[in-house]
Amino acid sequence: MQTIQTDNAPQAIGPYSQAMKANGMLFVSGQIPLDKDGNLVSEDVEEQTNQVMKNLNAVLEAAGSSLDKVVKSTIYLSSMEDFAKVNEAYATYFPKHKPARATVEVSRLPKDVLIEIDCIAII
């Protein structure tokens, strides 16, 4: 196993890694809409989704992977009312393939953000 860490995405806000590489697979921890300095980017769910995807991409690239190699993602939303807006923004990051995915509404996310996404990719 190998721990993945990049300064191009926000640092973990708890006792976990940005990602772990194991057996040709990459397991990326949930990313929230913080910039690389740890600041919330916006209160808008579409802008938050775009920042989360940028963070995921930065971690993927640091591990030698990319969004094109994502096989599964999970989206956590503070409100399913945002589902359509999130789908629209999310889809722009996967023009070539559509990874398997689950989307769930949760009662609360870290730092009271509107969205968090984690993923699994191949290296």
Q: Mean pLDDT across the chain, nearest whole number?
A: 97
Q: Look up the pTM and report it.
A: 0.95
Write the CB contacts of 79 (distance below 8 Å, at least 6 apart in sequence).
105, 114
For residue range 98-115, list pLDDT tens digits in order. 999 999 999 999 999 999
Pick the CATH number of 2-122 from 3.40.50.620, 3.30.1330.40, 3.40.50.150, 3.90.1300.10: 3.30.1330.40
For residue range 25-34, list pLDDT tens digits in order. 999 999 999 9
CA distance linking residue 121 with residue 21, whole number of Å: 9
Strand partners, 72: 100, 120
Whether pLDDT at 13 is above 90? no
